[in-house]
Amino acid sequence: MIYISLAIFALVSFFAVSNKKSTAAVGYRSLWEPTLLLRFRFITSSSNIIQDGYNRLKNSSFIIKRLDSDLLVLSNKYLEELRLLPNSKLSNVHAQVKNMLGDYSYSTFLLHNDQHVRVLQNYLTPNLSTFLGRAREEMDYSFTQDIPRPDRFTEVDIQKVLQTMIARISSRVFVGRVTCRNEEWLKLCLEFPLNLFATTFIMRMFPPLLHPILALLLPTRYWLRRNLLDAERLLTPIIKDHQERGITQVLGQITTPEKADLLEWMVADSGPNADPKTLAQRILFLSLASIHSTSSAASNAIFDLCAHPEYIAPLREEIQTLLPDPKHCSKQDLNRLWKLDSFLKESQRFNPPILLSPQRVALTDIQLSDGTRISKGTSIAFPSAALLMDPNLVENPETFDGFRAHRKRMELRPGEVFRHSMVTTDKDHLYFGHGKQACPGRFFAANEIKMILIWFLLEFDFRLPQNSQGEARRPKTFTIDEMCFADPRAKIEMRVQSS
């Protein structure tokens, strides 16, 4: 059956006529390479294929042939014009759901409204200081529960440790103290991303006509469904309690330590007749984005510190000099750590979570000012990773320079210093997207990572383990389509600092 399906897909790919005749598809090794083979090669060679397109066509556009669909990759010169378009014309949520295969990942309900975005924009960010205080409390708890404290250098699965820690912190903010300490909920938050990614990537390796059959056969999709049912079971009593109490809080007025979490805000925003099932699932998808992206960034930062240990001493000095109480610092304190911010920005540059960002789906036909046409239903993206390695935009881009942004900030006038912070976006720095649809949780995530790094820098010594040849090498990043992942087998060695 698989061979038949591949043959059908090959024929469709070979004979399909593109409606974008003026836009080149990139990555072909020769005129005779079948499109199906190119689509398969993109799974593991996406970086080279995208870079090839960027090198030749960075000032116009090109097409990426992914197994499940095509992506129109646009020059960032179009970004300012496109970011002004309303969500009704160009949608990031539709792109996310499309990438997750919609019904097959139970994610189509996200298309009905953007509450998961508004809760971050209108409640999390305006109350950032309050939520950072709660995050700090949970981080302190996690350091006593989840972090090994060996006296001698001991191998530690730092990615697993950080995933657990960030699951606790995110859950404290999303669903409150009681639920975030529930081990069943934490396990659910850690399992859900694995089942979602596995289901999505496996299904995207087959033509859409086989998806209904695959959906019935894949164990990970059954586990994914079970995850959503478990979330509904665990959160429905809490949601109903909020509804019965008649939540009436006004945005921006909730400041007491345990008064409200993001779930409570969502209940208030949804009204008394909101469906608990939908709210529970929305929280789980929100947790997915928070835990995966934040733990990946934090893990890569620690790998980079191990690979470039010359930055450890100056970062420790900055923390100890500028922060009166390093382990209990405020948002204002964290903003003073320019060197740490710069190091994290450089780590982001070398380790983006995705090679093509932001991604959008055109919900109407769009014509740009220079005559470029984008047809309804087209998936578009920008070459975010290639921009970060462009020698015309970044000096010596292949060199890891942890204080690159710090030097630039030192040269600016006081009112301009945030231009080079890790959370600032522009048309050349698209790690968090750009414009009104930029990642709304980036301010919380950046501060969360800084607090974690402060703890590790002040409490532990760490290094990369040596391989059989006696070499200590930074773990490599691998790609599946345009998504980037650290080697899941990668570990570090760490020990408590001697006094």
Residue with tokens 């209940």: 267
Bridge-based pairing state of the strands 61-65 and 24-25: parallel
Helices (H), 176-275: 177-180, 183-204, 211-217, 219-244, 262-270
Q: Considering only CA atoms, which of 65, 59, 79, 99 is closest in space to residue 361?
A: 99
Contact assessment for residue 334 and residue 450, using Cβ atoms and an 8 Å cutoff? yes
Residue with tokens 């033509």: 207
CA 163 to chain centre: 13
Q: CA-CA distance, 494 to 153, in Å (whole number)? A: 5
56: amino acid identity, one letter: R
Q: CA-CA distance, 291 to 97, in Å (whole number)? A: 18
Q: Between vectors from CA 151 to CA 148 and to CA 156, what angle results, nearest 5°? A: 40
Q: CA-CA distance, 1 to 35, in Å (whole number)? A: 21
Q: CA-CA distance, 127 to 258, in Å (whole number)? A: 13
Is 439 known to sit in a ligand binding site? Answer: yes
Determine how many CB atoms are found less than 10 A away from the CB of residue 356. 24
- Binding residues, by number, are 439
Binding-site positions for heme read 439
